[in-house]
């Protein structure tokens, strides 16, 4: 929107964005309202950044980059560690803003700031791992490689974990010697201002720039900027492909993408039903309404345990407490935005139309407090078939699709039949079965007898349309450098 309500009516305030070490409004003088997904009330506002703001951010970042890369890796690591300390000191404040802005439940979101800061410290610890190599190409001469920063890089952040991703995903680019422009999601932008304030205090001006705004007005100019060669995006396949096309129209660019998933969890007959049903619920990430690209939203149950497993699963899902995301006891909050809410309802309707059996959920919760807001009960469908829309398309909501299988080859064929390949989970107590199945599932990140968790230094990324590149490990750090070969002719 172009205007906002009076600042006194905004519980989370009218906030600014970071450009060149200063918290500023947009050059266009416009603002974006942020809507509470729980109440549909305006709770805050951020600048509606535009192409002019992206250019200002680029100029600031380009000016700061040579001196930043000129620091020793250890010094850059010191800056990242100090930033982690500063952000953690405001952790509770950031948490409240995040919960109100995203709708994610406070009990689970409490870990997000810490996870982001852990990434800052992890990459600070990798300061001296950006190594080149010597190569014995010819006798009598010296051949070696060095790694250099790209310069100014761009990152576009999703709505589901806005501050965690903003913090964690600046770590590798900065450690590699780049400066950065971050574009947060317009759907959950408020915490970006707090992060910007701490970056302004700790880091040299221009090293980090955070420009809020709509995708078409701020994101597209960032993607199309002719002097920003390295880009990264987390979000939907459709948007990721659009970014690839837009970037390619301007220049040759390096674009890494962490995109959607329709991830399988395959359950064998020998599992503990109580642990495995809890694992299936955890894998769906109901604490943030299933709004996670890594959610194991397709559950494959062996026919010998299908009925008992499904009965127990439905009981547990039906018992999840949907409520105020600021309430510590709430286990699921509202969908992030009206558009996403309508998308989830569309797929619930599609599941019923296609013949899946609705076991629980699928509607707005009853009772006081749910009259407004983007609320949907946690939902489970059974008798799901491979051709159904809920079996093939990413919903990004609290909808779990259950399949029955008897033949493992056919089960794996169906699991691999979608366009995605981000995560997967195998549940069995038989080691050979677990490892053989994990090798056959075409996903970039696989759990055995687990779901959802990420582990530092383990590369995360997807196969097929789930993305390109790997993050969360040394590979991400090196991906923000270019390799130069140097030949010293000693003869």
What phi, psi does 265 have (nearest 5°)? -120, 115
Residues 95/110, Cβ–Cβ less than 8 Å: yes
Which residue among the candidates 293, 377, 394, 471 is catalytic per the annotation? 293
Q: Is 187 helix (H, G, I), strand (E, B) or coil?
A: coil
Closest CA to 432 of 268, 265, 263, 298: 268
Is 117 a residue of the active site? Answer: no
Alpha carbons 80 and 170: distance in angstroms, whole number: 10
Distances in whole angstroms, Cα of residue 243 to Cα of each of 25, 155, 224: 26, 12, 9
Distance CA 183, CA 218 (A): 7
State how far the Cα of 171 lies from the Cα of 426, in Å rounded to an integer. 31
Rounded CA-CA distance 399/291 in Å is 10
First to last CA, the chain: 68
Has 197 been annotated as catalytic? no
Secondary structure class of 182 (helix, strand, coil): strand
CA-CA-CA-CA torsion sign (50, 155, 225, 58): positive
Burial of residue 400 (CB within 10 Å: 0-12, 13-18, 19+) is buried
Output the six-digit token pair for 362: 């699928």
Q: How far apart are CA 214 and CA 30, in angstroms?
A: 11
Name which of 303, 289, 301 is nearest 335 in CA terms.
Answer: 289
Of the residues 33, 98, 198, 258, only one is catalytic, namely 258
| Enzyme catalytic residues | 258, 293
């Amino acid at each position: 929107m172009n205007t906002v309500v009076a600042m006194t009516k905004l519980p989370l305030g009218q906030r600014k964005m970071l450009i060149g070490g200063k918290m500023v409004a947009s050059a266009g003088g416009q603002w974006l309202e942020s809507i509470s997904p729980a109440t549909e009330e305006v709770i805050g506002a951020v600048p509606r950044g535009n192409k002019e703001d992206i250019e200002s951010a680029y100029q600031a970042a380009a000016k700061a980059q040579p001196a930043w890369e000129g620091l020793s890796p250890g010094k850059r690591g010191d800056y990242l560690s100090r930033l982690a300390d500063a952000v953690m000191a405001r952790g509770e404040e950031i948490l409240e803003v995040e919960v109100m802005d995203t709708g994610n439940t406070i009990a689970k979101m409490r870990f997000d700031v810490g996870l982001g800061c852990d990434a800052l410290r992890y990459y600070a610890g990798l300061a001296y791992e950006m190594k080149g190599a010597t190569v014995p190409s010819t006798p009598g001469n010296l051949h070696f490689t060095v790694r250099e920063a790209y310069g100014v890089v761009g990152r576009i952040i999703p709505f589901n974990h806005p501050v965690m991703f903003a913090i964690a995903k600046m770590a590798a680019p900065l450690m590699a010697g780049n400066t950065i422009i971050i574009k947060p999601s317009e759907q959950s932008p408020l915490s970006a201002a707090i992060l910007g304030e701490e970056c302004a205090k700790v880091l040299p001006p221009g090293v980090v720039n955070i420009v809020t705004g709509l995708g078409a007005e701020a994101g597209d100019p960032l993607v199309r900027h002719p002097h920003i060669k390295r880009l990264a995006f987390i979000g939907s396949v459709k948007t990721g492909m659009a970014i690839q096309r837009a970037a390619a129209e301007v220049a040759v660019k390096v674009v890494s993408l962490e995109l959607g998933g329709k991830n399988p969890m395959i359950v064998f007959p020998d599992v503990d039903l109580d642990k495995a049903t809890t694992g299936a619920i955890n894998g769906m990430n109901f604490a943030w309404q299933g709004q996670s690209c890594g959610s194991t939203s397709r559950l494959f149950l062996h026919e010998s345990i299908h009925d008992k497993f499904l009965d127990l699963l439905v009981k547990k899902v039906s018992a999840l407490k949907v409520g105020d995301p600021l309430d510590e006891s709430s286990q699921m909050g509202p969908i992030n935005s009206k558009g996403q809410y309508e998308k989830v309802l569309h797929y619930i309707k599609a599941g019923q139309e296609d013949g899946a059996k609705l076991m629980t959920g699928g509607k707005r919760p009853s009772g006081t407090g749910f009259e407004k807001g983007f609320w949907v009960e946690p939902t489970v469908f059974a008798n799901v078939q491979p051709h159904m829309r809920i079996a093939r398309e990413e919903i990004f909501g609290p909808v779990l699709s259950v399949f029955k299988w008897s033949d493992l080859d056919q089960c794996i064929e169906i699991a691999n039949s979608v366009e995605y390949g981000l995560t997967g989970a195998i549940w069995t107590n038989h080691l050979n079965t677990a490892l053989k199945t994990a090798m056959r599932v075409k996903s970039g990140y696989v759990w055995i007898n687990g779901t959802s968790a990420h582990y530092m230094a383990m590369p995360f990324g997807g196969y097929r349309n789930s993305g390109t590149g790997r993050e969360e490990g040394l590979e991400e750090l090196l991906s923000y450098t270019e390799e130069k070969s140097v030949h010293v002719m000693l003869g």
